[in-house]
Protein backbone atom coordinates (compact mmCIF):
# COMPACT_ATOMS: atom_id res chain seq x y z
CA UNK A 1 0.00 0.00 0.00
CA UNK A 2 3.04 2.31 0.14
CA UNK A 3 2.84 5.09 -2.49
CA UNK A 4 5.56 4.65 -5.10
CA UNK A 5 7.98 7.40 -6.02
CA UNK A 6 6.88 9.08 -9.31
CA UNK A 7 9.04 8.12 -12.27
CA UNK A 8 8.10 11.18 -14.33
CA UNK A 9 6.12 14.41 -14.02
CA UNK A 10 2.93 12.77 -15.27
CA UNK A 11 3.14 10.21 -12.47
CA UNK A 12 2.86 13.00 -9.89
CA UNK A 13 -0.79 13.45 -10.91
CA UNK A 14 -0.36 17.22 -10.66
CA UNK A 15 -0.57 19.74 -13.49
CA UNK A 16 2.86 20.79 -14.74
CA UNK A 17 2.03 24.49 -14.28
CA UNK A 18 1.25 23.89 -10.60
CA UNK A 19 4.66 22.25 -10.08
CA UNK A 20 6.43 25.02 -12.01
CA UNK A 21 4.68 27.64 -9.90
CA UNK A 22 5.65 25.83 -6.69
CA UNK A 23 9.29 25.63 -7.81
CA UNK A 24 9.26 29.36 -8.53
CA UNK A 25 7.95 30.03 -5.01
CA UNK A 26 10.61 27.78 -3.51
CA UNK A 27 13.24 29.82 -5.37
CA UNK A 28 11.59 33.09 -4.33
CA UNK A 29 11.90 32.25 -0.63
CA UNK A 30 15.71 31.69 -0.98
CA UNK A 31 18.42 34.03 -2.23
CA UNK A 32 19.80 31.10 -4.20
CA UNK A 33 19.11 27.40 -4.19
CA UNK A 34 20.09 24.18 -5.90
CA UNK A 35 18.36 21.33 -7.62
CA UNK A 36 18.95 19.11 -4.60
CA UNK A 37 17.65 21.68 -2.09
CA UNK A 38 14.52 22.29 -4.18
CA UNK A 39 13.95 18.53 -4.42
CA UNK A 40 14.26 18.31 -0.64
CA UNK A 41 11.64 21.00 -0.11
CA UNK A 42 9.21 19.73 -2.73
CA UNK A 43 9.89 16.06 -1.84
CA UNK A 44 10.22 15.08 -5.49
CA UNK A 45 13.10 13.15 -7.14
CA UNK A 46 16.05 15.25 -8.32
CA UNK A 47 15.57 14.27 -12.02
CA UNK A 48 12.00 15.67 -11.95
CA UNK A 49 13.16 18.94 -10.39
CA UNK A 50 15.93 19.12 -13.00
CA UNK A 51 13.32 18.76 -15.76
CA UNK A 52 11.21 21.57 -14.26
CA UNK A 53 14.29 23.72 -13.81
CA UNK A 54 15.27 23.31 -17.44
CA UNK A 55 11.83 24.54 -18.49
CA UNK A 56 12.19 27.59 -16.24
CA UNK A 57 15.64 28.24 -17.71
CA UNK A 58 14.31 28.12 -21.27
CA UNK A 59 11.73 30.76 -20.33
CA UNK A 60 14.49 32.93 -18.76
CA UNK A 61 12.86 32.68 -15.33
CA UNK A 62 16.00 31.40 -13.57
CA UNK A 63 19.71 32.03 -13.94
CA UNK A 64 22.15 29.15 -13.57
CA UNK A 65 25.02 29.96 -11.18
CA UNK A 66 26.99 26.74 -11.42
CA UNK A 67 26.97 22.99 -10.88
CA UNK A 68 25.83 21.36 -7.63
CA UNK A 69 26.18 17.68 -8.50
CA UNK A 70 25.79 15.12 -11.30
CA UNK A 71 22.28 16.30 -12.18
CA UNK A 72 22.04 19.54 -10.24
CA UNK A 73 22.74 23.21 -10.52
CA UNK A 74 22.82 26.22 -8.26
CA UNK A 75 20.41 28.83 -9.52
CA UNK A 76 18.52 32.01 -8.69
CA UNK A 77 15.48 33.78 -10.07
CA UNK A 78 15.78 36.36 -12.82
CA UNK A 79 13.73 39.54 -12.51
CA UNK A 80 11.18 37.99 -14.85
CA UNK A 81 11.14 34.92 -12.64
CA UNK A 82 10.62 37.02 -9.49
CA UNK A 83 7.65 38.75 -11.11
CA UNK A 84 6.17 35.36 -12.08
CA UNK A 85 6.80 33.98 -8.58
CA UNK A 86 5.03 36.98 -7.00
CA UNK A 87 1.98 36.35 -9.16
CA UNK A 88 2.04 32.69 -8.12
CA UNK A 89 2.26 33.73 -4.44
CA UNK A 90 -0.81 35.94 -4.88
CA UNK A 91 -2.81 32.90 -6.00
CA UNK A 92 -1.46 30.56 -3.30
CA UNK A 93 1.13 31.29 -0.65
CA UNK A 94 1.82 27.60 -0.08
CA UNK A 95 5.52 26.63 -0.24
CA UNK A 96 6.51 23.10 0.72
CA UNK A 97 6.11 19.47 -0.37
CA UNK A 98 4.45 19.08 -3.75
CA UNK A 99 0.75 18.27 -3.47
CA UNK A 100 -1.04 15.18 -4.71
CA UNK A 101 -4.33 15.19 -6.61
CA UNK A 102 -7.73 14.96 -4.94
CA UNK A 103 -8.38 11.82 -7.01
CA UNK A 104 -5.25 10.13 -5.65
CA UNK A 105 -6.16 11.10 -2.10
CA UNK A 106 -9.70 9.76 -2.46
CA UNK A 107 -8.48 6.48 -3.92
CA UNK A 108 -5.93 6.07 -1.13
CA UNK A 109 -8.43 6.71 1.66
CA UNK A 110 -11.00 4.35 0.16
CA UNK A 111 -8.40 1.64 -0.39
CA UNK A 112 -6.90 1.88 3.09
CA UNK A 113 -10.32 1.85 4.77
CA UNK A 114 -11.41 -1.21 2.77
CA UNK A 115 -8.12 -3.06 3.26
CA UNK A 116 -7.93 -2.64 7.03
CA UNK A 117 -8.08 -6.12 8.57
CA UNK A 118 -10.77 -6.99 11.12
CA UNK A 119 -9.81 -6.34 14.75
CA UNK A 120 -9.86 -9.54 16.77
CA UNK A 121 -11.84 -9.68 20.04
CA UNK A 122 -8.55 -10.36 21.85
CA UNK A 123 -7.13 -7.10 20.53
CA UNK A 124 -10.18 -5.15 21.71
CA UNK A 125 -10.00 -6.83 25.13
CA UNK A 126 -6.30 -5.95 25.36
CA UNK A 127 -6.87 -2.31 24.46
CA UNK A 128 -9.68 -1.99 27.03
CA UNK A 129 -7.99 -4.10 29.70
CA UNK A 130 -7.54 -1.14 32.03
CA UNK A 131 -11.29 -0.49 32.17
CA UNK A 132 -14.04 -2.24 34.07
CA UNK A 133 -16.63 -2.91 31.38
CA UNK A 134 -19.29 -5.50 30.74
CA UNK A 135 -18.73 -8.12 28.05
CA UNK A 136 -21.48 -6.52 26.00
CA UNK A 137 -19.83 -3.09 26.15
CA UNK A 138 -16.54 -4.57 24.91
CA UNK A 139 -18.33 -6.44 22.17
CA UNK A 140 -20.23 -3.37 20.89
CA UNK A 141 -17.05 -1.29 20.88
CA UNK A 142 -15.24 -4.06 18.98
CA UNK A 143 -18.06 -4.40 16.45
CA UNK A 144 -17.93 -0.66 15.73
CA UNK A 145 -14.18 -0.78 15.11
CA UNK A 146 -14.28 -3.93 12.99
CA UNK A 147 -17.27 -2.76 10.95
CA UNK A 148 -15.85 0.76 10.55
CA UNK A 149 -19.15 2.09 11.90
CA UNK A 150 -20.06 5.03 14.09
CA UNK A 151 -20.51 4.60 17.84
CA UNK A 152 -22.72 6.64 20.17
CA UNK A 153 -21.85 6.27 23.86
CA UNK A 154 -24.04 7.86 26.51
CA UNK A 155 -24.52 7.71 30.25
CA UNK A 156 -23.72 9.61 33.46
CA UNK A 157 -20.51 11.64 33.63
CA UNK A 158 -17.37 10.02 34.98
CA UNK A 159 -18.00 6.45 33.83
CA UNK A 160 -15.38 6.11 31.12
CA UNK A 161 -17.06 7.25 27.91
CA UNK A 162 -14.06 9.24 26.71
CA UNK A 163 -11.62 6.62 28.02
CA UNK A 164 -13.22 3.94 25.82
CA UNK A 165 -12.36 5.88 22.68
CA UNK A 166 -8.87 6.80 23.81
CA UNK A 167 -8.15 3.15 24.56
CA UNK A 168 -9.78 1.81 21.40
CA UNK A 169 -7.09 3.55 19.37
CA UNK A 170 -4.60 1.01 20.75
CA UNK A 171 -6.46 -1.67 18.78
CA UNK A 172 -5.67 0.14 15.50
CA UNK A 173 -2.08 -0.95 15.04
CA UNK A 174 -1.56 -0.72 11.27
CA UNK A 175 -0.12 2.58 10.06
CA UNK A 176 -1.85 4.70 7.42
CA UNK A 177 -0.61 7.02 4.68
CA UNK A 178 -1.62 10.69 4.52
CA UNK A 179 -0.36 13.33 2.08
CA UNK A 180 1.25 16.57 3.13
CA UNK A 181 -1.34 18.36 1.01
CA UNK A 182 -3.67 18.04 -1.96
CA UNK A 183 -4.26 20.43 -4.86
CA UNK A 184 -7.40 21.43 -6.73
CA UNK A 185 -6.15 23.41 -9.71
CA UNK A 186 -3.96 26.12 -8.11
CA UNK A 187 -5.55 25.82 -4.66
CA UNK A 188 -3.78 23.82 -1.94
CA UNK A 189 -5.33 22.07 1.08
CA UNK A 190 -2.93 21.00 3.82
CA UNK A 191 -3.79 17.58 5.26
CA UNK A 192 -0.80 16.52 7.37
CA UNK A 193 -0.79 18.20 10.78
CA UNK A 194 2.12 17.57 13.13
CA UNK A 195 -0.13 18.51 16.08
CA UNK A 196 -2.54 15.70 15.22
CA UNK A 197 -0.59 13.09 13.26
CA UNK A 198 2.10 10.92 14.85
CA UNK A 199 4.64 9.87 12.24
CA UNK A 200 6.02 6.34 12.00
CA UNK A 201 9.56 5.48 11.01
CA UNK A 202 9.91 3.91 7.57
CA UNK A 203 11.98 0.74 6.97
CA UNK A 204 15.39 1.82 5.71
CA UNK A 205 15.25 -0.50 2.69
CA UNK A 206 12.05 1.11 1.40
CA UNK A 207 12.91 4.80 1.85
CA UNK A 208 14.14 5.32 -1.73
CA UNK A 209 11.11 3.70 -3.36
CA UNK A 210 8.44 5.68 -1.48
CA UNK A 211 6.78 8.88 -2.65
CA UNK A 212 7.74 11.23 0.20
CA UNK A 213 4.84 13.53 -0.51
CA UNK A 214 3.03 11.00 1.69
CA UNK A 215 3.65 10.45 5.41
CA UNK A 216 3.25 7.18 7.30
CA UNK A 217 1.39 7.82 10.59
CA UNK A 218 -0.40 6.03 13.40
CA UNK A 219 -4.15 5.90 12.81
CA UNK A 220 -5.12 9.43 13.86
CA UNK A 221 -7.24 10.33 16.85
CA UNK A 222 -8.94 13.73 16.66
CA UNK A 223 -10.90 14.81 19.74
CA UNK A 224 -13.19 17.84 19.81
CA UNK A 225 -15.54 18.90 22.56
CA UNK A 226 -17.70 21.83 23.50
CA UNK A 227 -15.52 24.18 21.44
CA UNK A 228 -16.64 22.57 18.16
CA UNK A 229 -18.25 24.95 15.65
CA UNK A 230 -19.82 24.26 12.27
CA UNK A 231 -16.92 26.20 10.70
CA UNK A 232 -14.53 23.52 11.98
CA UNK A 233 -16.14 21.09 9.52
CA UNK A 234 -15.32 23.32 6.55
CA UNK A 235 -12.08 24.29 4.85
CA UNK A 236 -10.20 26.93 6.83
CA UNK A 237 -8.82 29.60 4.48
CA UNK A 238 -5.88 31.67 5.69
CA UNK A 239 -5.84 35.11 4.02
CA UNK A 240 -2.23 35.65 5.08
CA UNK A 241 -0.90 32.24 4.01
CA UNK A 242 -3.32 31.90 1.08
CA UNK A 243 -3.96 28.20 1.34
CA UNK A 244 -6.49 25.97 3.12
CA UNK A 245 -6.27 23.88 6.27
CA UNK A 246 -8.20 20.61 6.11
CA UNK A 247 -11.18 20.20 8.47
CA UNK A 248 -11.25 17.62 11.24
CA UNK A 249 -13.08 14.96 9.22
CA UNK A 250 -10.19 14.85 6.72
CA UNK A 251 -7.45 14.93 9.35
CA UNK A 252 -9.07 11.94 11.07
CA UNK A 253 -9.50 9.83 7.93
CA UNK A 254 -8.55 6.16 8.50
CA UNK A 255 -8.59 6.86 12.24
CA UNK A 256 -10.99 8.03 14.96
CA UNK A 257 -12.95 11.28 15.19
CA UNK A 258 -14.42 11.72 18.66
CA UNK A 259 -17.02 14.40 19.32
CA UNK A 260 -16.88 14.55 23.11
CA UNK A 261 -19.44 16.24 25.36
CA UNK A 262 -21.92 16.04 22.50
CA UNK A 263 -24.83 18.43 23.00
CA UNK A 264 -22.70 21.01 24.79
CA UNK A 265 -21.31 22.65 21.65
CA UNK A 266 -21.87 26.31 20.84
CA UNK A 267 -24.36 25.30 18.16
CA UNK A 268 -27.64 23.47 18.36
CA UNK A 269 -27.12 19.70 18.57
CA UNK A 270 -29.61 18.96 15.80
CA UNK A 271 -27.90 21.44 13.49
CA UNK A 272 -24.64 19.58 14.08
CA UNK A 273 -26.36 16.22 13.51
CA UNK A 274 -27.78 17.38 10.20
CA UNK A 275 -24.28 18.34 9.10
CA UNK A 276 -23.14 14.74 9.68
CA UNK A 277 -25.94 12.90 7.88
CA UNK A 278 -24.29 12.76 4.43
CA UNK A 279 -20.79 11.81 5.71
CA UNK A 280 -22.26 9.08 7.93
CA UNK A 281 -24.45 7.53 5.24
CA UNK A 282 -22.34 7.95 2.10
CA UNK A 283 -18.77 8.33 3.48
CA UNK A 284 -18.27 11.55 1.53
CA UNK A 285 -18.52 15.24 2.25
CA UNK A 286 -18.85 18.39 0.16
CA UNK A 287 -16.55 21.33 0.84
CA UNK A 288 -16.54 24.76 -0.76
CA UNK A 289 -13.50 26.73 -1.93
CA UNK A 290 -13.24 30.53 -1.77
CA UNK A 291 -14.09 30.61 -5.48
CA UNK A 292 -17.43 28.92 -4.82
CA UNK A 293 -16.26 25.63 -6.35
CA UNK A 294 -17.57 22.59 -4.49
CA UNK A 295 -15.39 19.50 -4.10
CA UNK A 296 -16.30 15.99 -2.99
CA UNK A 297 -13.92 14.47 -0.41
CA UNK A 298 -13.81 11.02 1.25
CA UNK A 299 -14.77 10.61 4.91
CA UNK A 300 -13.73 7.18 6.17
CA UNK A 301 -13.17 7.50 9.89
CA UNK A 302 -14.60 5.88 12.99
CA UNK A 303 -17.03 8.63 13.97
CA UNK A 304 -17.77 8.48 17.67
CA UNK A 305 -19.98 10.55 19.95
CA UNK A 306 -19.93 10.74 23.74
CA UNK A 307 -22.52 12.52 25.88
CA UNK A 308 -23.80 12.55 29.44
CA UNK A 309 -27.08 14.13 28.33
CA UNK A 310 -30.28 12.23 27.64
CA UNK A 311 -30.04 11.02 24.00
CA UNK A 312 -33.68 12.06 23.47
CA UNK A 313 -32.69 15.67 24.14
CA UNK A 314 -29.76 15.83 21.69
CA UNK A 315 -30.64 13.40 18.89
CA UNK A 316 -33.50 12.52 16.58
CA UNK A 317 -34.65 9.24 14.98
CA UNK A 318 -33.07 10.07 11.60
CA UNK A 319 -29.65 10.43 13.23
CA UNK A 320 -29.93 7.35 15.43
CA UNK A 321 -31.03 5.26 12.45
CA UNK A 322 -27.72 6.08 10.73
CA UNK A 323 -25.67 5.44 13.85
CA UNK A 324 -23.75 2.16 13.71
CA UNK A 325 -23.92 1.20 17.39
CA UNK A 326 -25.23 2.67 20.62
CA UNK A 327 -23.71 1.93 24.01
CA UNK A 328 -25.12 2.98 27.37
CA UNK A 329 -22.40 3.20 30.02
CA UNK A 330 -24.26 3.12 33.31
CA UNK A 331 -22.84 3.77 36.75
CA UNK A 332 -20.75 0.91 38.19
CA UNK A 333 -22.05 -1.60 40.68
CA UNK A 334 -20.40 -1.59 44.12
CA UNK A 335 -18.40 -4.66 43.05
CA UNK A 336 -17.16 -2.93 39.90
CA UNK A 337 -16.33 0.24 41.81
CA UNK A 338 -14.27 -1.72 44.35
CA UNK A 339 -12.46 -3.57 41.54
CA UNK A 340 -11.50 -0.24 39.96
CA UNK A 341 -10.33 1.08 43.34
CA UNK A 342 -8.14 -1.98 43.97
CA UNK A 343 -6.64 -1.91 40.49
CA UNK A 344 -5.72 1.77 40.71
CA UNK A 345 -4.23 1.31 44.19
CA UNK A 346 -2.07 -1.53 42.86
CA UNK A 347 -0.33 0.99 40.59
CA UNK A 348 1.25 2.36 43.77
CA UNK A 349 1.90 -1.08 45.24
CA UNK A 350 -0.88 -0.81 47.82
CA UNK A 351 -3.34 -3.53 48.82
CA UNK A 352 -6.66 -2.15 50.01
CA UNK A 353 -8.37 -3.69 53.04
CA UNK A 354 -11.90 -4.94 52.48
CA UNK A 355 -13.13 -3.13 55.60
CA UNK A 356 -11.99 0.20 54.11
CA UNK A 357 -13.88 -0.49 50.88
CA UNK A 358 -17.01 -1.45 52.82
CA UNK A 359 -16.82 1.79 54.82
CA UNK A 360 -16.37 3.68 51.56
CA UNK A 361 -19.50 2.07 50.08
CA UNK A 362 -21.41 2.90 53.26
CA UNK A 363 -20.36 6.53 52.98
CA UNK A 364 -21.58 6.75 49.39
CA UNK A 365 -24.93 5.32 50.48
CA UNK A 366 -25.14 7.57 53.52
CA UNK A 367 -24.55 10.71 51.47
CA UNK A 368 -26.72 9.40 48.62
CA UNK A 369 -23.99 9.80 46.03
CA UNK A 370 -24.08 7.84 42.80
CA UNK A 371 -20.99 5.74 42.10
CA UNK A 372 -18.71 6.91 39.27
CA UNK A 373 -15.95 4.91 37.59
CA UNK A 374 -13.59 7.89 37.68
CA UNK A 375 -13.85 8.52 41.42
CA UNK A 376 -11.49 5.76 42.67
CA UNK A 377 -8.73 7.46 40.69
CA UNK A 378 -9.77 10.90 41.93
CA UNK A 379 -9.75 9.84 45.60
CA UNK A 380 -6.49 7.88 45.40
CA UNK A 381 -4.70 10.73 43.63
CA UNK A 382 -5.74 13.08 46.45
CA UNK A 383 -4.37 10.64 49.00
CA UNK A 384 -1.15 10.73 46.99
CA UNK A 385 -1.17 14.54 47.23
CA UNK A 386 -1.54 14.18 51.00
CA UNK A 387 1.50 11.89 51.29
CA UNK A 388 3.65 14.16 49.15
CA UNK A 389 2.58 17.27 51.07
CA UNK A 390 3.71 15.74 54.35
CA UNK A 391 6.65 13.89 52.74
CA UNK A 392 5.42 10.48 53.88
CA UNK A 393 5.07 7.10 52.18
CA UNK A 394 1.74 6.85 50.44
CA UNK A 395 -1.01 5.19 52.48
CA UNK A 396 -4.65 4.39 51.91
CA UNK A 397 -6.16 4.52 55.37
CA UNK A 398 -9.49 5.69 56.80
CA UNK A 399 -7.79 8.94 57.82
CA UNK A 400 -6.23 9.74 54.42
CA UNK A 401 -9.41 8.64 52.66
CA UNK A 402 -11.45 11.02 54.82
CA UNK A 403 -9.17 13.94 53.86
CA UNK A 404 -9.40 12.98 50.17
CA UNK A 405 -13.19 12.61 50.37
CA UNK A 406 -13.75 16.02 51.96
CA UNK A 407 -11.27 17.64 49.60
CA UNK A 408 -12.95 16.15 46.54
CA UNK A 409 -16.64 16.22 47.42
CA UNK A 410 -16.64 18.99 50.04
CA UNK A 411 -18.67 18.86 53.22
CA UNK A 412 -22.42 18.38 53.30
Least confident of 39-53, 309-323, 396-410: 309-323
Strand partners, 75: 33, 64
Domain boundary among the residues 275, 307, 328 is at 328
Same domain, 251 and 400: no
Say if residues 243 and 285 touch (Cβ distance below 8 Å).
Answer: no
pLDDT at 318: 82
Report, as an integer, the average pLDDT of 278-302.
93
pLDDT digits (tens, 9 = 90+) for 227-255: 999 999 999 999 999 999 999 999 999 99
Same domain, 132 and 257: yes
Please tell me whether the overall predicted TM-score, pTM, comes out greater than 0.85 for this model: yes
Number of domains in the chain: 3
Same domain, 292 and 402: no
Same domain, 303 and 404: no
Task: Compute the distance between CA of residue 273 and CA of residue 263 in angstroms, rounded to an integer.
Answer: 10
- List alpha helices for 150-238, DSSP H: 161-168
Q: For residue 206, is pLDDT > 80?
A: no
Task: Compute the distance between CA of residue 254 and CA of residue 300 in angstroms, rounded to an integer.
Answer: 6
Of the chain, the end-to-end C-alpha distance in Å amounts to 61
pLDDT digits (tens, 9 = 90+) for 313-359: 888 888 888 889 999 999 999 999 999 999 999 999 999 999 999 99
Task: Compute the distance between CA of residue 255 and CA of residue 148 in angstroms, rounded to an integer.
Answer: 10
Host H or E run for residue 23: helix 16-28
Say if residues 228 and 268 touch (Cβ distance below 8 Å).
Answer: no
Same domain, 292 and 162: yes
Looking at residue 199, the DSSP 8-state letter turns out to be B
pLDDT at 205: 67
Domain annotation covers residue 4: no
- In which band, very low, low, confident or very high, does the pLDDT at 269 lie, cut at 50, 70 and 90? confident
Strand partners, 184: 187
Report, as an integer, the average pLDDT of 138-157.
92
Least confident of 117-121, 190-194, 317-321: 317-321
Same domain, 87 and 137: no
Residue 21 CB contacts under 8 Å (≥ 6 apart), including other chains:
85, 88, 91, 92, 186
Range of the domain at 355: 334-409
pLDDT digits (tens, 9 = 90+) for 47-61: 999 999 999 999 999
pLDDT digits (tens, 9 = 90+) for 8-37: 999 999 999 999 999 999 999 987 789 999
Q: What sign does the CA torsion over 400, 401, 405, 408 have?
A: positive
Percent of the chain with pLDDT over 70: 99
pLDDT digits (tens, 9 = 90+) for 152-190: 999 999 998 989 988 998 999 889 999 999 999 899 999
Say if residues 387 and 400 touch (Cβ distance below 8 Å).
Answer: yes
Strands 73-77 and 33-34: antiparallel
Count of CA atoms in the C-beta half-sphere (13 A) of 236: 15
Domain annotation covers residue 3: no
pLDDT at 412: 57
- As a whole number of angstroms, the longest Cα–Cα distance in the chain is 87
- In which band, very low, low, confident or very high, does the pLDDT at 377 lie, cut at 50, 70 and 90? very high
pLDDT at 116: 87
Same domain, 311 and 386: no
pLDDT at 195: 93
Least confident of 58-62, 114-118, 380-384: 114-118
Percent of the chain with pLDDT over 90: 75
Secondary structure of 80-131 in HEC code, one letter for each residue: HHHHHHHHHHHHCCCCCCCCEEHHHHHHHHHHHHHHCCCCCHHHHHHHCCCC
Report, as an integer, the average pLDDT of 108-120.
91
Q: What sign does the CA torsion over 204, 209, 212, 216 have?
A: negative
CATH number where 59 lies: 1.10.10.10
What's the mean per-residue pLDDT of the chain? 92
Closest to 309 measured CA to CA, from 203, 409, 161:
161
Domain annotation covers residue 395: yes
Domain annotation covers residue 111: yes
- In which band, very low, low, confident or very high, does the pLDDT at 272 lie, cut at 50, 70 and 90? confident
Report, as an integer, the average pLDDT of 142-153.
92
Domain boundary among the residues 37, 63, 97 is at 97
Say if residues 189 and 235 touch (Cβ distance below 8 Å).
Answer: yes
CA distance readout (Å), 232 to 41, 164, 210, 345:
29, 24, 32, 40
CA distance readout (Å), 295 to 57, 61, 69, 123:
35, 33, 42, 37
Helix (H), strand (E) counts: the chain = 16, 17
Closest to 371 measured CA to CA, from 400, 399, 331, 329:
331
Amino acid sequence: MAPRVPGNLRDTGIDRDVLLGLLLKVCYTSTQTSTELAAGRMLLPVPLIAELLEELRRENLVEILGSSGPLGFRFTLSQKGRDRALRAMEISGYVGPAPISLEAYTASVQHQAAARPPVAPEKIAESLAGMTLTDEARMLAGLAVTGNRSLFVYGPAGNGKTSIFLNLRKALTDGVWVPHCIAIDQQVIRIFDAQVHETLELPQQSVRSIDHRWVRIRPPLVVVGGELRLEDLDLAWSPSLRFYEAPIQLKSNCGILLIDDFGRQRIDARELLNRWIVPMEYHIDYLTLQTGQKICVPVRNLLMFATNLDPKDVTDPAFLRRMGYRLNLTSPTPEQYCAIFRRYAERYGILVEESLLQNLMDRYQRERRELRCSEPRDLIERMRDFSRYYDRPMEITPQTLDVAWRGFFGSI
